[in-house]
Structure 1
Amino acid sequence: MLRSLLTPRWLLLHALFIVATIATGFLAVWQWDRAHEAGGSFQNLGYALQWPLFGAFTIFLWIKLIRMDFAQQRGEAEPATSADADEGSSTASAVSEEPERRRSRPLVPPPAPPVDSDEDPELAEYNRYLAGLDQSDQRTS
């Protein structure tokens, strides 16, 4: 497993993450020094405190990518597309193994019940106006 982290792709990613983490450290020190100069402000102090957080987030992403790669190698992660699956296996069997996920609500809400003129005359008039617009739009299409 650890051998996969030494591929050219991963070596480039390791270098990128190391450079990004070191860069955020240098930027934090630079903003800290700027905050303590005569022209420094609270904005510089804020940036000096933010850059270490960006560095910590970079390390978090690095670890997350490594864990995702290990999980994919163990077969825990589903392939992104059906083209990634073996040609010998059918997509129907791959779909049947995964439990169905159903929406908890429909994509389009159900229509509202019609409103009588006795209940709300303004709303009924507005609904008639919208229905007329819909009919005229359907005639022009």
Structure 2
Amino acid sequence: MKGRLFAPRLVLLHLVFLAAVVASGWLGWWQWERAHEAGGSFQNLGYALQWPLFGGFALFLWYQVVRMVNGTELHRQGESITVPSATGHSESAGEDATERTTGGARRRSPVPPPAPPVTEEEDPELAEYNRYLAELNAAARSR
């Protein structure tokens, strides 16, 4: 997992985030010093307080990238992800919406399984809307 964080394309991204944090820290310090000089103003003081926020945001984005890379790695190792189903019960993501690859790992299908049909007694509005969509689909296929 850690080896993936140090892939060549990610090392450059880590360096860009590091440069952004260092630059925002330096710019914040520079604006702080400028605000205390004879020609300084409240605008300089405002910038001195904003630059560290930009650096903090860069750290937050870096953290999200690291989480995303680690999450992708966990998903590739075949970890099961629990998702809520339409019935309200938790089920593994590997039941209906996945398929097995040659390596034995599960991969999520880009198309979700079709929803069960709704009868007129369960929800009349939804049943009518589904009939309308079926008519549109039939009309589009007949062209």
State whether TM-score is above 0.5.
yes
Equivalent positions of 1:38-53 (< 5 A) are 38-53=38-53
Residue in 2 that maps onto 1:64: 64
Between the two proteins, what is the percent identity of the paired residues? Answer: 54
Count of matched residue pairs: 90
* Higher normalized helix content (fraction of residues): 1
SS at match of 1:96: coil
Letter in 1 for 2:111: V
Q: TM-score, length-normalised on structure 1?
A: 0.55
Larger radius of gyration: 1
Superposed CA RMSD in Å reads: 3.2
* Higher normalized strand content (fraction of residues): 2
In the alignment, structure 1 segments of 5+ residues that lack a partner are 77-85, 87-92, 100-141
1:56-111 Cα shifts (integer Å, max 9, x gaps): 110000000110111122226xxxxxxxxx7xxxxxx5423598xxxxxxxxxxxx
Residue in 2 that maps onto 1:17: 17
In the alignment, structure 2 segments of 5+ residues that lack a partner are 76-80, 82-100, 102-108, 116-143
Q: CA distance change for structure 1 residues 97 and 4 in 2, over 3 Å: closer, same or farther?
A: farther
Letter in 2 for 1:16: V
Letter in 2 for 1:13: L
- 2:98 equivalent to 1:95: no
Q: TM-score, length-normalised on structure 2?
A: 0.55
* Distance of 1:95 and 1:70 partners within structure 2: 25
